[in-house]
Structure 1
Amino acid sequence: MGIEWLAAYLALGAGVGFFAGLLGVGGGGIMVPMLTTLFAAQGFPREHLVHVALGTSMAAIVITSISSLRAHHAHGAVRWDIVKGITPGVLAGTFGGTFIASRVATAPLAIFFGCFMAYVSVQMILNVKPKPSRELPGPAGLAGVGGVIGGISALVAIGGGSLSVPFMTWCNVKMQNAIGTSAAIGLPIALAGALGYLINGWGAPGLPEWTVGFVNLPALVLVSLVSTFTAPVGAGLAHRLPVATLKKIFAGLLVLLSLKMLHTVLG
């Protein structure tokens, strides 16, 4: 791997960690389109571009989610009763979702990712907050919701926050607890997703060097290494910068990155 790719992965990790800390979002929205573009430029097999980007992103989120979980737990913001109830569904949905994603061709997978990121971006720009109207469902209901959140998360390599936070606030969970609990839910999502992409990509023909399953090890190590240091920087600035405005800028960035990814895959 040349020095230019090393620098690109380190820069990506810095950006992912910074925005994750600043805005409380997962890094998949940035990582997947950027990794797809970088992998294409390095000559990775076209039929595996998005799959390797998704798998590598999921594996990287494992590391960043642990840091986020610990920080929110220290502030007493994690509802562990919700985590306990939703985790079985999250594990099953995410793991099963990787089997679906691995069998979908690169082009439709990229289109689904682009459409979902457009939905997330609109939510950010409009600052959509569902009105609290009900209580949390029972264990079976929580597991079912977890399955849906996990399945979609596997297809787009996110930690699930764009789905779990609105769901919990809709069920009258305080926003601080919804964000903290979503951070905790992100860990089983990432673990199940990374394992699923590892298994489904095992033995796939034509994978590049240093790629295990659908996880590219150099990208994983370099992105995770830097994001661990830049996430606290972003978190510190979150209390001093106009986060509402920054979220709108970030939403625009997600749209541009998704369009770039679609151009790379379809163009």
Structure 2
Amino acid sequence: MRVPRGARAAAIGAAGGLFAGLTGVGGGAILVPLLVSALRMRQHAAHGTSLAVIGAGALAGAATYARTTSIDWPLAMTLLPTALLGAAAGATFVQRIPAIRLRALFGAFLFAVALRMALPLGGAAAHVDGVWRLLLGAGTGLAGGLLSGALGVGGGAVFVPALVLLFGESQHAAQGVSLAVIVPTAAAGTATHWRHGSVDGSVAAWLALGAVPGSAAGAAVASSLRADVLQRGFAAVLLAVGAQMVWSGWRAARTPAAQVEGTPTHDAG
């Protein structure tokens, strides 16, 4: 029996939300591939639609973290301004180039970050203050925002490692800050994608039905896990997602352009 499209979208949203709450990443690394494969959406539409629902899921996750862990709001505000600019710029930029190429490059980046996260850090990271803290925050926010808008992800794959490695935040604290920044960042990127017609509003609504409770559940589970377990799990997820992105980029190089974009978003059922 064929599962209705709305039910499939809600299940995809729940998977992405659970992933977001557990790892502090927006969930787009799960949502985008599933939207393309399970709902047969075009690549650009999958990115825009994913980003539209990521903010809702991140809000639920951030609220849970705020109740169980103190979120460093001043640090979040250090990242936010450039993250907003980066998200809008990334969402505009991706309209002009094949998104699959960006995914392959991002996959290689995820590999590097995951390997660094998986290795022992050799002591706590240095705490930066003053102008260096502002500059690092601005750079981190811009990088995460650009990737968020371009790839339809939350940006947590940049935010979380940077907060741990550069700012000396614990894994739990970094994930809470990341989710707090993702909420407005996703909104900025979504607005740009919407103007370019790469957001499917009906699918986004179904995704949100699953993503909001999924994210809250994931955040609740994460608060009870040890930081080292979360950090290794986060690295493993990044390796897996990076492999998928690099593979899709290699496959795209051997596939006609029309097939790379996928089939139209219309899907009976």
TM over 0.5: yes
Is 1:58 aligned to residue 45 of structure 2?
Answer: no
- Contact 1:34–1:257 (8 Å) recurs in 2: no
1:258 corresponds to which residue?
A: 245
Is 1:26 aligned to residue 22 of structure 2?
Answer: no
| Runs ≥4 residues deviating over 6 A | none
| Candidates 68, 72, 77, aligned match of 1:79 | 72
**2-structure distance, mates of 1:243, 1:78:** 17
Share of identical aligned residues, percent?
Answer: 25
Is 1:182 aligned to residue 175 of structure 2?
Answer: no
- Contact 2:87–2:147 (8 Å) recurs in 1: yes
**1-structure distance, mates of 2:6, 2:251:** 21
Compare 64-73 and 139-148 and name the one that shifted more.
139-148
Is 1:165 aligned to residue 160 of structure 2?
Answer: yes
Change (3 A) 1:183 1:235: closer
**2-structure distance, mates of 1:192, 1:252:** 28
Give the counterpart letter for 2:152 in structure 1.
A
2:266 corresponds to which residue?
A: none
Per the TM alignment, residue 52 of structure 1 is displaced from its structure 2 partner at its CA by 0.9
2:265 corresponds to which residue?
A: none
2:13 corresponds to which residue?
A: 13
Change (3 A) 1:265 1:5: farther
Q: How does 1:123-134 map to 2 (within 5 A)?
A: 126=118, 129=121, 131-134=124-127
1:193 corresponds to which residue?
A: 189
| Candidates 229, 245, 250, aligned match of 2:213 | 229
Give the counterpart letter for 1:258 in structure 2.
M
Is 1:218 aligned to residue 202 of structure 2?
Answer: yes
Q: How does 1:135-146 map to 2 (within 5 A)?
A: 135-136=128-129, 138=131, 141=135, 142-146=137-141
| Candidates 83, 98, 103, aligned match of 1:90 | 83
5+ long unaligned stretches in structure 1: 202-212
Compare 246-255 and 11-20 and name the one that shifted more.
246-255
User: Per-residue CA shift, 1:8-47, capped at 9, x if unaligned?
Assistant: 21221221122223333321111111112235x3xx5xxx
- Contact 2:17–2:214 (8 Å) recurs in 1: yes
TM-score by length of 2: 0.76
Change (3 A) 1:107 1:65: closer
Change (3 A) 1:6 1:261: farther
Per the TM alignment, residue 100 of structure 1 is displaced from its structure 2 partner at its CA by 0.9
Compare 65-74 and 54-63 and name the one that shifted more.
65-74
Per the TM alignment, residue 134 of structure 1 is displaced from its structure 2 partner at its CA by 4.1
**2-structure distance, mates of 1:27, 1:129:** 26
**2-structure distance, mates of 1:218, 1:259:** 30
Per the TM alignment, residue 192 of structure 1 is displaced from its structure 2 partner at its CA by 1.0
Change (3 A) 1:260 1:33: farther
RMSD: 3.1
SS at match of 1:132: coil
Per the TM alignment, residue 185 of structure 1 is displaced from its structure 2 partner at its CA by 0.9
Is 1:69 aligned to residue 62 of structure 2?
Answer: yes
Give the counterpart letter for 1:88 in structure 2.
P
TM-score by length of 1: 0.77
**2-structure distance, mates of 1:79, 1:53:** 32
1:204 corresponds to which residue?
A: none
